[in-house]
Structure 1
Amino acid sequence: MNDKTPRRGGFRHIFGVPAVLAIISLVGLIAALVGDGWLDFLSWVTLGVPIAVMFWAYGRRRQAKA
């Protein structure tokens, strides 16, 4: 099997990372709405995680094309 062959996976393999990112985002949104102080910090961190993952995936994809 070479690198260009698509991998097959189950439900968890396909939707695992998006589901985790959705839960992290939901925690961040709720923390931003209900709290102050350390909950503000929690919301910034949890809402930054999906953005960081997006940049990481974009960089990884660009390296694979080169």
Structure 2
Amino acid sequence: MKPFAPHRRRRRASLATVFAVPTLLLVATIAGLVIGLNGDGLPDFLAWALLALPLLALAHAWAKRS
């Protein structure tokens, strides 16, 4: 017979913690779209980098899950 193991409760995350990364990705995406529409040269590169962040986050999440 196994001894009784107490259940550990997980601490609930606050709304700020839960939505911090999605909000950051939203702001980065909107900034990338606006910068991409308003500039040429270096701003285009910055726009591509900002728009790649959600894809990198998705790849990171998939890799972490496997």
Normalised by the shorter chain, which TM-score bucket?
0.7 to 0.9
Q: Which residue of 1 aligns with 2:64?
A: 60
CA distance in 2, matches of 1:47, 1:11: 25
Hey, which bits of structure 1, 4+ residues long, moved more than 4 A? none
CA distance in 2, matches of 1:43, 1:28: 4
Query: Which structure would you say has the larger Rg?
Result: 2
Q: Which residue of 2 aligns with 1:9?
A: 13
CA distance in 2, matches of 1:19, 1:7: 22
* 1:24 aligned onto 2:32: no
- Normalising by structure 2, we get a TM-score of 0.81
Give the aligned residue type for 1:48: A
CA distance in 2, matches of 1:13, 1:49: 19
* 1:44 aligned onto 2:48: yes
Structure 1 gap ranges (5+): none
Shift of 1:11: 1.2
- Normalising by structure 1, we get a TM-score of 0.81
